[in-house]
Structure 1
């Protein structure tokens, strides 16, 4: 037997096998990449088929970190320079009544409430206006950090009440201190994947329009004095009848967050004592 010839045949066979396996790997890789692109096109096509439109989407947010903070305990020192009557609930909730009601510039303008808060309330600049109920005469603010809102966290809420003379008579406040980012940065899911999560649950209705998409935080872990919050996409959708719905999706894992109980608590809880 010609061993040199046999050895050459084996070498050629193994070389061909290696080339085949490599080409198989490349084809599978390319298929997986194409599936990703097709997945994006699929959700875009589905939205188009259902006449679901959306505004320009954020495209520059690739990563963000979890954050943590501690519940603030109010003391008289927080209000020593103000003409107010203050009561505390569990130390972490302040119920404040003005001795002399403070006039708002124009209750028809949201900016009037923001100006009042920044001028008259401790750490007022760290709150962002979320909702104004002019029928009930109450404005709700959520705390923020680095211009990102802490959504429906009951330890970071401010409620401002005014009377029929457009004067602020009282407010209720909770606050989170020592907010810090955790060291590890997490990859943030892009908007189209968030739409996919909402669409798969039937939350995006035909003929609706996605009006807003912002990154903020929602509470991941509730502890007595410490809070851990996860990056969260807020999605506001306008339905065909004009009603606005809001949804929240974990920006790291893509899970739709159920915050109905937190929302109801934020809107209805009475902190008065």
Structure 2
């Protein structure tokens, strides 16, 4: 790998990121100054029948991460058994149809598929993935790539099983071999800051429940075949009457609400 070339690419990218961070910093000042009202906001949320667990007040730290495409999946396809495989060079994606569909129920599908994922002849690099109920639906089970730097909620690093008539019939898989730290760690917004800010911006309706609030990396941009990831809070809110869920996304560095996905993906939760 040409590390000099990678270094030059990331320097160009970070020139743009510096401008982005400066503008985001200015926009985030109001959020910082409002933290003193968080306690009263939490009380008001409960009065409006908004349910949630204990909110973490720890800010923590995160990174800008980068990756480059590689052929790890393509180079290991021969290890897979009992499935029909197609590999897409452009997206570096494996598409599979299982020879024998796997029967599952709502109660056992996590256990059954966790065992399936562990076997290398079933799924390549399966130990690097974990089940993400926040991103899954009745017809799809989503596994996300995870590692020492954190989870990745992004189409570039996911394993998605398709379910039809209570059977897992196939999957698609993408994989990031290595995430590179591009910048020293920076402070991020706490879970409590993010959720109270969502409420203050009318993003959490009355009579609802916060089902999930997870921090993960997702794609910010692509530059010269390199992908840049930022930390994002994924907050899933379920309406108690309609049972419909929606996932809000918040930039963990700035606290700004992301109105549309940074990578064009629309995530839904059951």
What TM-score does the superposition give when structure 1 sets the normalisation length?
Answer: 0.70
Q: Deviations over 1:43-77 (max 9, x none)?
A: 23432443323201234452122222223335653
Contact 1:107/1:113 (CA < 8 Å) preserved in 2?
no
Question: How far is the alpha carbon of 1:248 from its aligned partner?
Answer: 1.4
Q: 1:50 to 1:70 in 2, by over 3 A?
A: same
Question: How far is the alpha carbon of 1:90 from its aligned partner?
Answer: 2.5
Q: Deviations over 1:86-120 (max 9, x none)?
A: 3222251122234x326456564222222212222
For structure 1, the residue ranges without an aligned partner over 5 or more in a row are 1-34, 268-273
Q: 1:251 to 1:133 in 2, by over 3 A?
A: closer
Question: How far is the alpha carbon of 1:121 from its aligned partner?
Answer: 0.5
Q: 2:130 and 2:188 mapped to 1: Cα distance?
A: 23
Question: How far is the alpha carbon of 1:147 from its aligned partner?
Answer: 7.7
Q: Deviations over 1:143-163 (max 9, x none)?
A: 223383322x22112222356
Q: Deviations over 1:218-241 (max 9, x none)?
A: 221223532111111121222221
Give the 3-state SS of the residue equivalent to 1:203 in structure 2. Answer: coil
Give the 3-state SS of the residue equivalent to 2:45 in structure 1. Answer: helix
Question: Mean Cα displacement is larger for which, 55-64 or 36-45?
Answer: 36-45
Q: 2:147 and 2:213 mapped to 1: Cα distance?
A: 17
Contact 1:208/1:240 (CA < 8 Å) preserved in 2?
yes
Question: How far is the alpha carbon of 1:253 from its aligned partner?
Answer: 0.4
Q: 2:171 and 2:46 mapped to 1: Cα distance?
A: 45
Contact 2:65/2:181 (CA < 8 Å) preserved in 1?
yes
Q: 1:71 and 1:107 mapped to 2: Cα distance?
A: 35
Q: 1:223 and 1:116 mapped to 2: Cα distance?
A: 35
Q: Does 1:255 align with 2:253?
A: no
Give the 3-state SS of the residue equivalent to 1:177 in structure 2. Answer: coil
Structure-to-structure mapping, 1:49-68, within 5 angstroms = 49-68=47-66
Q: 2:112 and 2:264 mapped to 1: Cα distance?
A: 26
Question: How far is the alpha carbon of 1:185 from its aligned partner?
Answer: 1.2
Q: 1:165 to 1:198 in 2, by over 3 A?
A: closer
Q: Return the match for 2:39 from 38, 41, 54.
A: 41
Question: How far is the alpha carbon of 1:249 from its aligned partner?
Answer: 0.7
Q: Does 1:69 align with 2:37?
A: no
Q: 1:181 to 1:63 in 2, by over 3 A?
A: same
Q: Which residue of 1 aligns with 2:170?
A: 170
Question: Mean Cα displacement is larger for which, 156-165 or 250-259?
Answer: 156-165
Contact 2:73/2:124 (CA < 8 Å) preserved in 1?
no
Q: 1:118 to 1:147 in 2, by over 3 A?
A: farther
Question: How far is the alpha carbon of 1:200 from its aligned partner?
Answer: 3.2
Contact 1:68/1:181 (CA < 8 Å) preserved in 2?
yes
Q: 1:176 and 1:170 mapped to 2: Cα distance?
A: 21
Q: 1:141 and 1:70 mapped to 2: Cα distance?
A: 21
Q: Does 1:244 align with 2:245?
A: yes
Q: 1:57 and 1:118 mapped to 2: Cα distance?
A: 33
Question: How far is the alpha carbon of 1:174 from its aligned partner?
Answer: 1.2
Structure-to-structure mapping, 1:147-186, within 5 angstroms = 148-151=150-153, 153-162=154-163, 164=165, 166=167, 168-186=168-186
Q: Which residue of 2 aligns with 1:17?
A: none
- Over alpha carbons, which structure has the higher Rg? 1
Q: Which residue of 1 aligns with 2:145?
A: 143
Alignment length, in residue pairs? 227
For structure 2, the residue ranges without an aligned partner over 5 or more in a row are 1-32
Question: How far is the alpha carbon of 1:254 from its aligned partner?
Answer: 0.6
